[in-house]
Amino acid sequence: MARRILLLTTGGTIASRPTEEGLAPGLAGAELAGLLPRGITDAYDLTIQDILHLDSSNIQPEEWQTIARHVFDNRTEYDGIVITHGTDTMAYTAAALSYLIQRSPKPIVLTGAQKPIGFDATDSRTNLRDSFECACTRDMHGVAIVFNGRVILGTRACKTHTKSFDAFASINYPNIADVRDGRVVKGVNFEGLRDVSDPARLAAHYSGQGADELVFYDITASAEGRRLFADALREVARTIFIPLTVGGGISSLEDFDRVLKCGADKVSVNTG
């Protein structure tokens, strides 16, 4: 079953359009989601609520209360909540929400972009994809900013660059996770990293990014006498609509038959 995500939009650069006076928030949440690759939005049960249409420099404590009220009212209905926000005051809003909504057992993710989603060179799609993944990750909870692959605790984020896509840093505290190629990983100094995503979501992501074919390899299965995980393979096959090639742990005709029945289009074997 697809994880349920609530997308709350507040304006900001990510939803801006060019005007005679410069960029200004103008895209509704449905338009924002419509500019994402289909594979990303199809991977989730997404509900959208437009609550503000502001440049983040105009967001005040009154708006913090509005955002917090929407989060609180919907806290039991969704697996996670993503809030799109302008970058100028995003760190302040994240800190405020951390105190207004304490000990949330579910992820409350703020994100935005340095370039509007309608621009060719934009960080919007990556930041939204990463935020959706974090918002449905069971190991995540509380308020965080997800930006340029960093997952930063809401009370530790600071905007450090006005133009670079790497706009935020965690102050005196490590990132609570990182997002690499659509995978949410946790670790310390890049040691002991562990996945907190799953193959089906990754498959949906790569399919949505325009991949022509997906190759599912367990490169040590044969050496370790391990069979491929049939349940994961079936879920991947249900998720994508591009050719799926599977290899690793194939040592008999029965293995061929099992893999094809799980949804693979082709089977790869090594004769070495």
Catalytic residue IDs: 13
DSSP the chain: -PPEEEEEEEESGGGEEEETTEEEE---HHHHHHTS-HHHHHTSEEEEEEEEEE-GGG--HHHHHHHHHHHHHTTTT-SEEEEE--SSSHHHHHHHHHHHSTT-SSEEEEE--SS-TTSSS-SHHHHHHHHHHHHT-TT--EEEEEETTEEEETTTEEE--SSSS--EEESSS--SEEEETTEEEEEETTEEEEE-S-HHHHHHHHHHTT-S-EEEE-TTTTTTT----HHHHHHHHHH--S-EEEESS--SHHHHHHHHHTT-SEEE----
